Structure 1
């Protein structure tokens, strides 16, 4: 919980509603954290001086518990929630569970997808009128919980700058800079805090998009005048992951290699240093913050156990992507950088399925450039949040100038999302997909097929690995 902000905990018992609630609460300028039952039960207690209230969301699919709403509650969960002695707001099946756990005596309590209940400390639980959840949420935050609404971009920047200065002191900070939104905002934020104590290190690991290394060097060294060290380590990284098939192992190898390069560069400055990273809240959640790993992000679950730094500086690890962008704008970063689509730290390595080879990387790099530039040229950038090509590694029979070929299949992926926790595929015009397909198959050697993915997140993740 944030030391200086009123906090609401949202506990997710299933479904996608919790994520939406967290965003809605933060949009109302109240700090909110997302917890799973596992994380609730592993905490010694939920009580904290900044905790003002708890929201619990249950499954809202009526087919799950249509008659009795007997949900699979974690034993002891409600006892712990109610013991926190703060107002509790429960939705869907969670409302039924809370009513029963707090002694509600209605024996004919049936599940309702719009059921909303609330319990104040020392009072009986009550069922609220069936208005929209949004109608109840703001009064709950401000009238019932007494939140001040102090979670703003300006307040975050002021607090983050102070925290960095306090944590770092007079020591040096090395920032791993990928050129993506997250690491770029971290670099600018830390520079605001400690100035020339910061050195950014850009590692060209051989998995960058076409022409990207040159763009990053120009942007940070020339435009922002932040000290930048560029390291060409492509042979080193590619050599470590060539032939590695397991995606989790790929991420962990790349994460460890990043750290080792940063350590080597930091040792040249003399003395001890901190490592700064662009970790954001979804990274923390997906890397096992709830007890289950979706995938190891190279800067969270992919970190090696032993690192030769004083500590890690992660000022953005409580922010969602759009909050990071808002901070970047407030810090004066240009739209061309702040509004860039995300690019994972491991880069094209996790978009090249199966064993990595230099040939497959180069094919992918060229296909990706055609697709991403076509989206910009055709005016689709406002309709997409993230878009890229994937080297599937799948080879199939084709024909070129009457001759049989056996070449690769490239997959195209484009999604629209608010927070990168849930995403839906973008519906491009058929003519546009045909245009991109024709360009890739005619301009990129050894590609015989192009496919477009229509899977959302969930059940898939946005990245293929």
Structure 2
């Protein structure tokens, strides 16, 4: 049975980062909202409570019954630490000074298993507006900073530990050591969560789950669907049927190149040209969410038509990955919709298929590592993420054939220049955006009034957060000149320097 750590999410911006750090230590973990706690079984080796934007002093503060975790090692971070202290009879009060940023440990109990190998003066990262001013008598303080007396504590007689700082951020220099102490020294995890182990066990599980059933998969040429396809192919062989739909919103020559890339994989794959159908449905539509829903609906209709031509299909395979799942689950009540996901949320009633999602527990970089284990080529694994609605949400406003052609050319020039400059593999995601504005320019002594292209390039680990890339000015200048000179209808190029949050990676 696969050992795992349960992370309870109280809404912290760092919760996903905790999960990433745990997995980097080769321990499998799952994130669950605090108000949807899974049943804890013998596979659970320990529990981590996350931070939160809430204060434990608020009437509507997140609450869990700590008795649910009796017998399991527990590590509480920030809000979690304050919550346990308050529930145990301690005091939590508003800090005289809100603490955000670096601090250094002035006291460390090195005999405590959580702080083994961590020395006084070790830098940690604080992010809190409340402080624990008094702990219950049966709590032992095991770490302090000059400003925070209760930077860490243990409940005496229990494997319950808590820290006020965030070990998951890189600014906490010994954060990885602390997490390793908890996972290995306290929880007894054997650290066998690797890409090899995942691939091996997933293929065995898929064989057992699917048997001789036929499975249909929408193949896009991206990393997620490619890795999902290879895992399924290794499990069920020719019973996997792949369909690649050309919605007319792909990058330049992508339809032809994707089909070419997969010809040697041994996959059953069929290409479907549905460009005209998508464009017809999108005519006159400007609202981004309406465009997403139209593209999603038409894709399902086209895909369903093709799937029905395959007899006795029982399963639909999807390349859903963990960030899709996390972003689609509310932590506290209904969450605000940032955008609708194209592969989470189930199927329409008329598609009577069961769903199989072999990658739904993986982050993007983990998907790439599994793909490497399976022997996929680097040109597939290294491809930047591409939105399900494609260029339909990179054309701001109405989508037309003319705009698509312009954007495809501009995007092709942009991406090729990044590759030529050796920058493509250093970037998480890059793409060009067609803006709904026109600007005055001068070309050949003549006044022009043409369109604007925005360039976007971000650095990220998993797409949950992202920062804009500081591309070299000479490269940006070359890209701009080439787009303006070669793409008819463009006379201005701008570069997006917004991070996520507050902006999203895509513009729509």
Q: What corresponds to 1:97 in structure 2? A: 83
For 2:362 and 2:233, how far apart are their aligned partners in 1? 19
Cα distance change of structure 1 residues 323 and 124 upon mapping to structure 2, 3 Å threshold? closer
- Alignment of 1:51 onto 2:44: yes
Q: Is the 8 A contact 2:395 2:434 kept in 1?
A: yes
Secondary structure at the aligned position of 2:440 is classed as: strand
For 2:344 and 2:9, how far apart are their aligned partners in 1? 22
- Alignment of 1:295 onto 2:325: no
Q: Is the 8 A contact 1:180 1:337 kept in 2?
A: yes
Q: What corresponds to 1:84 in structure 2? A: 69
- Alignment of 1:143 onto 2:143: no
Q: What corresponds to 1:265 in structure 2? A: 306
Deviation digits for residues 199-257 of structure 1, max 9, x if unmatched?
A: 11110110110111111111112x21211100001111122222222222222222222
Unpaired runs of 5+ residues, structure 2, are 94-130, 134-146, 166-171
Q: Is the 8 A contact 2:384 2:430 kept in 1?
A: yes
Q: What corresponds to 2:315 in structure 1? A: 274
Q: What corresponds to 2:291 in structure 1? A: 250
Q: Is the 8 A contact 2:455 2:494 kept in 1?
A: yes
Q: Is the 8 A contact 1:286 1:295 kept in 2?
A: no
Cα distance change of structure 1 residues 125 and 436 upon mapping to structure 2, 3 Å threshold? closer
1:415 offset after TM fit, Å?
Answer: 0.8
For 1:74 and 1:450, how far apart are their aligned partners in 2? 48
For 2:260 and 2:476, how far apart are their aligned partners in 1? 33
Cα distance change of structure 1 residues 381 and 126 upon mapping to structure 2, 3 Å threshold? closer
Q: What corresponds to 1:387 in structure 2? A: 430
Q: Is the 8 A contact 2:10 2:62 kept in 1?
A: no
Larger displacement relative to structure 2 (425-434 or 4-13): 4-13
Match of 1:205 among 247, 258, 263: 247
Q: What corresponds to 1:174 in structure 2? A: 216
Q: What corresponds to 1:455 in structure 2? A: 498
Select the structure that is richer in strand.
2
Q: What corresponds to 1:328 in structure 2? A: 371
Secondary structure at the aligned position of 1:78 is classed as: coil
Secondary structure at the aligned position of 2:262 is classed as: helix
Deviation digits for residues 387-419 of structure 1, max 9, x if unmatched?
A: 110112222233333333322111100011111
Select the structure that is richer in helix.
1
Q: Is the 8 A contact 2:243 2:271 kept in 1?
A: yes
Secondary structure at the aligned position of 2:227 is classed as: helix
Cα distance change of structure 1 residues 383 and 310 upon mapping to structure 2, 3 Å threshold? closer
1:164 offset after TM fit, Å?
Answer: 1.9
Q: Is the 8 A contact 1:89 1:118 kept in 2?
A: no
Cα distance change of structure 1 residues 311 and 126 upon mapping to structure 2, 3 Å threshold? closer
For 1:381 and 1:357, how far apart are their aligned partners in 2? 28
Deviation digits for residues 139-184 of structure 1, max 9, x if unmatched?
A: 2112222223232212211222122223322221111000000001
For 1:193 and 1:308, how far apart are their aligned partners in 2? 24
Q: What corresponds to 2:447 in structure 1? A: 404
Deviation digits for residues 6-51 of structure 1, max 9, x if unmatched?
A: 221223335433222111100111111223xxx32144x5533322
For 2:4 and 2:156, how far apart are their aligned partners in 1? 16
Alignment of 1:95-134 (within 5 A): 95-104=81-90, 109-110=132-133, 112=148, 115-119=151-155, 122=158, 132-134=174-176
Secondary structure at the aligned position of 1:390 is classed as: strand
For 1:186 and 1:308, how far apart are their aligned partners in 2? 20
Cα distance change of structure 1 residues 128 and 257 upon mapping to structure 2, 3 Å threshold? closer
Q: Is the 8 A contact 1:275 1:309 kept in 2?
A: no
For 1:372 and 1:449, how far apart are their aligned partners in 2? 18
Cα distance change of structure 1 residues 100 and 166 upon mapping to structure 2, 3 Å threshold? same
Cα distance change of structure 1 residues 32 and 449 upon mapping to structure 2, 3 Å threshold? same
Cα distance change of structure 1 residues 131 and 417 upon mapping to structure 2, 3 Å threshold? closer
Q: What corresponds to 2:35 in structure 1? A: 41
For 1:73 and 1:422, how far apart are their aligned partners in 2? 30
- Alignment of 1:24 onto 2:21: yes
Larger displacement relative to structure 2 (227-236 or 337-346): 337-346
For 1:242 and 1:285, how far apart are their aligned partners in 2? 33
Secondary structure at the aligned position of 1:137 is classed as: helix
Q: Is the 8 A contact 2:82 2:92 kept in 1?
A: no
1:304 offset after TM fit, Å?
Answer: 4.7
Cα distance change of structure 1 residues 409 and 142 upon mapping to structure 2, 3 Å threshold? same
For 1:14 and 1:95, how far apart are their aligned partners in 2? 15
**RMSD, matched Cα:** 2.7
- Alignment of 1:342 onto 2:385: yes
Secondary structure at the aligned position of 2:64 is classed as: helix
Larger displacement relative to structure 2 (100-109 or 193-202): 100-109
Larger displacement relative to structure 2 (346-355 or 123-132): 123-132
For 2:400 and 2:3, how far apart are their aligned partners in 1? 50
Deviation digits for residues 94-122 of structure 1, max 9, x if unmatched?
A: 32222212334688835859934455885
For 2:248 and 2:3, how far apart are their aligned partners in 1? 44
- Alignment of 1:314 onto 2:357: yes
Q: What corresponds to 2:8 in structure 1? A: 11
Unpaired runs of 5+ residues, structure 1, are none
Aligned length: 448
